[in-house]
Amino acid sequence: MKRIWTNHGNLVQVFGKGILILASPGGGKTNLTLQLLDRGHYFISDDLVEFEMRETQLFGKRPILEPLLHSRSRGFLNISLLYPHQHLKETPIDYVIELQSPIPKLRSLRYIDEKTYGQG
């Protein structure tokens, strides 16, 4: 009997290794995925990944037929048109990374410092 799970995240293949990218909404998953595609790596799935355990290896695949990626700034992107040879249906998952919230910008910290201590 096969067990299948789904999870919110992006799945890519970099140098032949499957990487599941996790982050909160707006946390940079799509931006990182597009940067990896621009560097020649492979797209598997955006926002929804379906998992299947095969013997001792976890595989991930996209649950829909078309390789679509949703960008907040650009809408839905058809990866098969933009990167015709850079999408796969599935990959073994070798690594999981979780993107964390960025550190506050230095400008924000400077503003607080100037407001609190003056500019002199």
Reported as a single tens digit per residue, the pLDDT across 62-106 is: 887 788 888 888 889 899 999 989 999 999 999 999 988 765 554
Q: Is the pLDDT of residue 117 over 50?
A: no
Inter-CA distances, 74 with 3, 43, 106, Å: 35, 17, 28
pLDDT of residue 65: 75
Strand order in the sheet with 42-45: 42-45, 10-14, 17-22, 95-98
Give the global pTM.
0.77
The whole-angstrom separation of Cα 68 and Cα 50 is 15
With H, G, I as helix, E, B as strand and everything else as coil, classify residue 88.
Answer: coil
4-117 is classed CATH 3.40.50.300? yes
